[in-house]
Structure 1
Amino acid sequence: MTQTWDDLLFAHWPVPAERIRQFVPPPLEVDTFDGMAWIGVIPFEMNEIRLRFLPVIPYTVPFPEINVRTYVIAGGKPAVFFLTLDASNPVAIRAATWTYHLPYYSAGMTIKRTAAGIDFQSERKGRAQRFDAIYRPVSEPFTARPGSIEHWLTERYRFCCVCRRTQRIYGGDIYHEPWRLQVAQAVIRENTMADLYGAEMSKAPVHLHYAQGVKAWIWRCRRMFG
């Protein structure tokens, strides 16, 4: 499968590893940078979902999405561990939940491009999780240097999650060109997306980056570790 991810904000907060450990089942290992685990809140717009050699899947794009993630070692490789994903497209949610076992939730969402930046709003249906922000890039694009925190947070080519239905760990590999990041500014008007996981969402993110977008190739999701 291929997807295009556009107008991304990478907002990251440090969190003690012992606090996030309860949400990351063994044998996955919580990955740390300078002794701290990290939680990311990543809003963006999803585009051009295609199965191999086929046109864009009808009724799926474009739509806003936001994911909450932390970072793990899975099968010896650095990986993204999805805690939750919110999207506004019911067809895409149903397909991703059954095909990739991802923990998606339905949300009312908008994304608007304005002169001031990308205005993104999300409210999970029937839940307390909300995100309301406007963000924009404020630097020239750059490729993260290996060994840097930017590289550690963003250059990961494996994902995994716990299937809500079966409580088993699933994962898969992805590929895209290295991120062309830009330092970002954001006015976060409300953010309760990761309160449950111990990140202090009331504080400004420690790291803020923007990416215009990438095309990603996503391989088959499989059950991991038995």
Structure 2
Amino acid sequence: MNRAEKARKIQTVLDKLYPYTEIPLAHHDPFTLLVAVALSAQTTDKKVNQVTPRLFARADTPAKLAALDPDEVRDIIREVGLAPTKSKALVGLSKRLVEEHDGQVPRTFEELETLPGVGHKTAGVVRIQAFGLPAFPVDTHIHRLAARWGLSSGKNVQHTERDLKRLFHADNWARLHLQIIYFGREHCPAVGHDLASCPICSFAASKKRMVAEGKRRRKA
């Protein structure tokens, strides 16, 4: 089975398991989505959803958040990983939105990635989930599964993103981004996974990978 055939079969499985994919981060507009995604780095979506209600009650627009002291923001989001760094970034990006974008979240990768604390993956999530624009955000989890399934041999997320974009139609990128994340959480953990019983790994993973991961699982 070549990569294209494998990709089609994987998409069929994911569409059956996840016909509807809800955005896991609570938000109500592009700005609050941008903030939530920026907070989610090295933190679970569940934890982000626990801290954002208080943050958004205090400041849910660029102008309001730009007016806060980073220390106050840090205290609100302190349970989130890297809170000191993220609090400064959130205030900084809010000021940039007010000063350079009339308080609106920009839509292009180029503009989004100039904002403090916003990398390529965060920009991609905002593009597809806030504006419905083409993007295929690849985080470490999607990167891991793409390698496990033999869809990419990329050494980094940028390479994997290019491979996945070639394999899947752009109309499906937004849905697949979430489907793969959900599948990884529910069916395909990084450690101790039985590939032979997995709905996707059982046909997508190579024999070499099955043997290698099987040995690691038995040693664990």
TM-score, normalising length: structure 2: 0.28
Please identify which structure carries the higher strand content: 1
Please identify which structure carries the higher helix content: 2
TM-score, normalising length: structure 1: 0.27
Choose 1 or 2 for highest CA Rg: 2
